[in-house]
Structure 1
């Protein structure tokens, strides 16, 4: 599994979550909500240090990651993160 972040998404994380060099941003599975890959689950984000990284990417010295225990959620898809100006939030795409 790969994680891909658009420039606009990285900028949102830096502006809204104050992500800077040395920080860690976790994409995690949460119960509830909806997604095109897993019914009854959705994706959340949090700044926290990793325990067992399953997938990661770095931008401007910050690490964006998914824990190994959450890889099942993606069902063989890569995570592409973009930014939606209308709702001022990250937008997730799941790409085979």
Structure 2
């Protein structure tokens, strides 16, 4: 399992959330939304520091991470942060 974040997507988050190098973004499982993996659940993202066990990737100086206890959502697949097909921002794809 990996998190893959293109540098263009990382820069989008930097601009939209006014992030600074070293900031951390927590990707978490939430109830509701239209996720493609588990019906009735989806992924969210928020700026939050953590040193708990996790998978992570750093792109453009920003750490994107998921906590160990929520990795079940990925079903041993990779998580891609990419621009959505509508061009309305960034979406999550598990593959």
Q: TM-score, normalised by structure 1?
A: 0.88
Whether the 8 Å contact between 1:23 and 1:63 is mirrored in structure 2 is: yes
Whether the 8 Å contact between 1:80 and 1:93 is mirrored in structure 2 is: yes
Residues paired across the two proteins, number:
94
CA RMSD of aligned residues (A): 1.4
Q: Which residue of 2 aligns with 1:2?
A: 2
Whether the 8 Å contact between 1:35 and 1:42 is mirrored in structure 2 is: yes
Q: TM-score, normalised by structure 2?
A: 0.89
Partner of 1:38, secondary structure, is coil
Q: Which residue of 1 aligns with 2:87?
A: 86
Gaps of 5+ in 1: none
Whether the 8 Å contact between 1:20 and 1:60 is mirrored in structure 2 is: no
Whether the 8 Å contact between 1:6 and 1:83 is mirrored in structure 2 is: no
Gaps of 5+ in 2: none
> Runs ≥4 in structure 1, deviation > 6 angstroms?
none
